[in-house]
Amino acid sequence: LQNLSFFVNIEEMTRQNSIGNLDLVTMLALIRLDDEAYGVSISREIKQLVGYEVALGTIYAVLERLERNGMASSKLGESTPERGGRAKRYFRITAKGLREVNRLRRAFIKLWQGVPELAGRKA
Amino acid sequence: VTHRHPPRAAAWLLDCFVGRNQALIGDIAEEYRTGRTQLWFWRQTVMAALRSTFAEIQSHWILALRAAIFGGVFLFCFNYCIVRPFGQFYTDVMWNVDPILVSGGWSFRTLLFITFLPDVPVLCLGFAVGSWIVARLHRPYKAAFTLMNAAVVLVVGTVQIVVGVVRLYIYVGNYQKRHYDPDPHHFWFYVIVCFWVFELSLFVASTLAGGLWNRPSAAVDSV
């Protein structure tokens, strides 16, 4: 029952803010990359963070959703020959996004503290 | 295999579906040139196309609904005004040319000249024209709505095939009982089911071809 309430809390938390797991991972990648966050670098950072590759189209869908919700902003950068002359689109996390990440971090820590298995003790 | 040039068909599809997001196409091109395989490029293309389609349908669902309804109504009218009269005319002509072919039993000739030839090419034309009109009426979202209409054709067609298979199975079973045919797996049962699947793939292809017709291809070479 305790485990069930854990998932209910997470679901409630993510629903209120429209943030899924990938959204959170992407926002963390934006924070880590700072000024160098564009599609390719975000994709590589996510692979490093979670261990599997996410399609670039999926990452853009998340970034555009975050931008719509005011949690990220973007600006066009330089174009290079290996990109077929297309400009890079750099993303940054906004103050609102940063607040959401912090709020989620605090909530997760609080939830994990209530799970004995994760503290190395027997239930 | 060279990494300088991505698969042309995939690059063309990418341009069709995410042409407005040049940064994404640039990212895929940049990553591809680091030594990624053609399969990787295809996977990125399919994912980007699906994501873009879902996003556009979600944000313009009323227009998407209108596009789907228009496509359905057009096909309904096309079927009653053109396919059926043409099929009847064709059957009349064939009756005069070869009555045995029209009234005879199952054969590959009957399947080709009576079942396939009058209806399927005309219906393909209907799917292509309907999809083309829908795309012209919804230019900013033409790729997404074309894919949506092709998916609708695929789903409706699959349901029709499943219903048809059940009915055909019952019919073949009754036929075998009447004719004391001991073979429970009637050869024509499989031929007709394969024909239906082939027919449906032609309809889906026609819908895609009609909607994606005349897309700008200038960007393809530079991916």
Query: Which value does ipTM take for this structure?
Result: 0.76
Identify the closest residue of chain A to B29 by CA–CA distance.
A83
Tell me if chain B has a CB within 8 Å of the CB of A60: yes
Average pLDDT, rounded, for chain A: 81
What pTM was estimated for this model as a whole? 0.72
pLDDT, tens digit, 9 for 90 and up, residues B106-128: 677 776 777 777 788 888 999 99
pLDDT, tens digit, 9 for 90 and up, residues B150-199: 999 999 999 999 998 888 878 777 776 776 665 555 677 788 888 889 99
pLDDT, tens digit, 9 for 90 and up, residues B2-11: 456 888 889 8
Q: How confident is the model at residue A2 (pLDDT cuts 50, 70, 90)?
A: very low
Q: How far apart are CA B41 and CA B37, in angstroms?
A: 7
- When pLDDT is averaged across residues A40-52 and rounded to a whole number, the result is 90
Strand partners, A87: A79
Q: CB–CB of A87 and B52 under 8 A?
A: no
3-state secondary structure string across chain A? CHHHHHHHHHHHHHHHHCCCHHHHHHHHHHHHHHHHCCHHHHHHHHHHHHCCCCCHHHHHHHHHHHHHCCCEEEEEEEECHHHCCCEEEEEEECHHHHHHHHHHHHHHHHHHHCCHHHHCCCC
Task: HSE, CB side, 13 Å, CA atoms: give it for residue B36.
Answer: 21
pLDDT at A89: 93
Give the number of other CB atoms < 10 A from CB of residue B202: 16
Tell me if chain B has a CB within 8 Å of the CB of A87: yes
A80 contacts in chain B (CB < 8 Å): 30
Closest chain A C-alpha to B48 CA, distance in angstroms: 4
For residue A90, which of A13, A49, A36 has the smallest C-alpha distance?
A36
B44 contacts in chain A (CB < 8 Å): 55-57
Q: How far apart are CA A45 and CA A52, in angstroms?
A: 10
φ, ψ dihedrals at A89, nearest 5°: -115, 110
For residue A18, which of A54, A60, A68, A53 has the smallest C-alpha distance?
A68
pLDDT, tens digit, 9 for 90 and up, residues B123-134: 899 999 999 999
A57 contacts in chain B (CB < 8 Å): 18, 24, 44, 47-52
Q: Please count the residue pairs, one from chain A and one from chain B, whose beta carbons lie less than 8 angstroms apart.
A: 71
Strand partners, A72: A93
CB B15 within 8 A of CB B223: yes
